[in-house]
Amino acid sequence: QTVGFKSFASFMEQKIESMFVDSIGPVLANLKDLRVAAQRTEKELDTEYAETDPHRILSTTRDCGVSFATALTHVMEGVLDLKPVSNLEDELTHFHGYHQALGSNHFSMLPSEDFCGLQDYVSYLREEIQIATFDVEVNGGAQFRRLMNEVEIFLRFSEIAVETRKRDVIQARGVSMSSLTWRDVVVKLLSNEAHLPLQRRV
């Protein structure tokens, strides 16, 4: 017994129709999801375009700067019980440890070669200079003021520590197409003997 062609064609027609009916639902759902995703992307791009306007970026940057400056003023003016706090010895120890870990060698870690190490410099600040807030744990503006005192002491060691020789003066004067004054010579000498040591400490 065989199946007639008409019966087979009718069966396949119904089968294909049934398969399409079963598949149309997921296809429509997928198309709806794609439409929602495309609309969301379009909205995000419109928002990004609006927010990347140069005038708005400038305004936002200024607002951030004002906000940061306001917060910084609040901290620098002094807030009681604000954490963390640090004394000067811990601050210098952390600073030296950080740059030693980085291998920094572009500036002088100590103000003078007369100091054997960090502890020698710390003892100098505590016992000889006697910074008033050396052992006081502070932060904010008080810590910044103490830091400025330490920096000032540090930079005092960058004064000219060599004797200016006659040969250096003659060499600095040289020959110039224009009139070279003694002031220019002094500037040259100071640039070499004072500016470079200072630069190593800044």
**Per-residue three-class SS string for 110-159:** CCCCCCCCHHHHHHHHHHHHCCCCCCCCECHHHHHHHHHHHHHHHHHCCC
Buried b (16+ CB within 10 A) or exposed e, 178-191: eeeeeeebeebbee
Say whether pLDDT at 37 is over 90: yes
Q: Which pLDDT belongs to residue 123?
A: 92
Between CA 149 and CA 152 the distance in angstroms is 5
What's the whole-number average pLDDT of the chain?
81
Q: What is the pLDDT of residue 196?
A: 62
Task: With a cut of 90, say whether residue 38 has pLDDT above it.
Answer: yes
Among the ranges given (79-88, 113-122, 139-148, 176-185), the one the predictor scored with the smallest mean pLDDT = 176-185
Beta-strand runs (E) in the chain: none
Average of pLDDT values for 118-122? 92
If we measure between CA atoms, which residue out of 50, 53, 41, 126 comes closest to residue 90?
126
Residue 93: the pLDDT is 94
Rounded distance between C-alpha atoms, residue 31 and residue 38, angstroms: 10
Instruction: Give me the mean pLDDT over the 74-79 stretch.
Output: 73
pTM of this structure: 0.50
10 versus 171: which is more confidently predicted?
10
Task: Give the Cα separation of 122 and 89 in Å (integer).
Answer: 6
- Find the mean pLDDT for residues 87-100: 93
Asked whether 189 and 170 are in contact (CB, 8 A), the reply is no
Output the pLDDT for position 87. Answer: 92
Segment 56-72, tens digit of pLDDT = 788 888 999 888 888 77
Find the mean pLDDT for residues 95-106.
90
Q: How confident is the model at residue 202 (pLDDT cuts 50, 70, 90)?
A: low
What confidence category does residue 162 fall into, taking pLDDT thresholds of 50, 70 and 90?
A: low
**Residue 171 confidence (pLDDT):** 66
pLDDT band at 104 (very low <50, low <70, confident <90, very high): confident
